[in-house]
A = this chain, B = another copy of it.
């Protein structure tokens, strides 16, 4: 999208002298994260595929005596839709499959162990339109839909765990739709699924018109490369959502999202990063990128005229570490693959240092929260 800034980091690096930049970086981004040397084949694939490729070591954990290093490479993929929203459904899906296949191949060359795609990655984010057809036709079975089978192939081929957030059609429960992340093991088996727990009612995010709050709780998936969980999009605004994934043992929580500049851009660097800090875990925030145009116009409940797009998805996907350090973000305007090397030992090391779970007083909060949900709850207010 013309006129859109490439990235915040690009501006900082262009104008601020090296010595000051170091301090700015420390305050904004925490401990320095070194660049990964990425294989030349991957760099070439990114150039010929016109997507950004970045790689970082997020930060090192201290060596321990009783545990080995626990190194994992995660890949975050952000991408535009590949075919116009007016083209046949299957054509749109296949174009996205093709794009993702290319980017996952590059991830594999970079040694990625776990890859996560953006929210509802097989379709445009059409919920702004409030029209049902053809958009509900993008919904498919989490267990054996064409997208899951496509991901199983990739997972097996590359020995990679794949998180595939789709619009799910649940035929076994009366054709209900869900916003669901399918987790596929590196063996190619479907390990399970995690449904979006919190559904927005904000701006053009009319998702509550299409699907309801998830019923899969806060499952954590034990993969060959660590314990992971998926907090989909709007769930990142809910600290308790992150927290319960963490209490169930998640070392990495992925946050596949779709959000736009006018609404949330100044929240984006804050929420997933705060969750990494508060829960002593890694978090991976992934946003789609670009502007999607629809043939039928729609209004936005903001007093303005009908229009044909939701606004600019600003990308800026990034990874945060438990100590609050983070990687730079991917581009605000281009497709991209962010490869980040983590040492999962840092989760427990940070927990032992900061002790948030130990000092959390959860019995008190369980009681207070229970009380607060009752219809006769009286806030504790002191008056003169």
Contact = CB atoms under 8 A, between A and B. Distances in A.
A265 interface: yes
A1 interface: no
Interface residues of A, number: 84
A379 interface: yes
A130 B185 CA distance: 50
Interface string A133-172: 0000000000000000000000000000000000000000
A20 B239 CA distance: 32
B372 A369 contact: no
A237 interface: yes
B365 A369 contact: yes
A265 B360 contact: no
Interface in A216-265: 217-223, 227, 234, 237-240, 243-244, 247-249, 264-265
Interface string A1-40: 0000100100110011100100110111111000000000
For this chain, the copies found in one complex come to 2
A66 interface: no
Contacts of A239: 239-240, 243, 274, 278
A381 B213 CA distance: 21
A98 interface: no
Interface in A63-82: none
Contacts of A368: 217-218, 244, 247
A366 interface: yes
A87 interface: no
Task: Label chain A's interface by main secondary structure.
Answer: mixed
Nearest to A239: B239
Interface string A360-380: 111111101110110000011
A324 B268 CA distance: 10
Contact of A192 (B278, B364, B382): B382
A187 B217 CA distance: 49
B201 A359 contact: yes
Interface in A264-297: 264-267, 269-271, 273-274, 277-278
Nearest to A248: B379
A260 to B, nearest CB: 13
Given A199-B359, A372-B362, A384 B277 contact: no
Interface stretch (A102-110, A339-347, A349-357): A349-357
A365 B240 contact: yes
Nearest to A383: B222
A17 B267 CA distance: 24
A220 B382 contact: yes
A325 interface: yes
A327 interface: no
A361 B372 CA distance: 12
Nearest to A370: B366
Complex A-B, nearest 10 residue pairs according to Cβ-Cβ distance, in ascending order: A239-B239, A30-B266, A274-B274, A248-B379, A366-B370, A366-B369, A192-B382, A267-B324, A240-B365, A15-B15
Interface of A: 5, 8, 11-12, 15-17, 20, 23-24, 26-31, 183, 185, 187, 189, 191-192, 197-202, 213, 217-223, 227, 234, 237-240, 243-244, 247-249, 264-267, 269-271, 273-274, 277-278, 324-325, 353-356, 358-366, 368-370, 372-373, 379-384
Given A28-B269, A240-B365, 14 more contacts: A5-B23, A11-B24, A15-B16, A192-B382, A198-B359, A200-B355, A201-B359, A217-B368, A221-B382, A239-B278, A240-B243, A240-B362, A240-B369, A271-B274
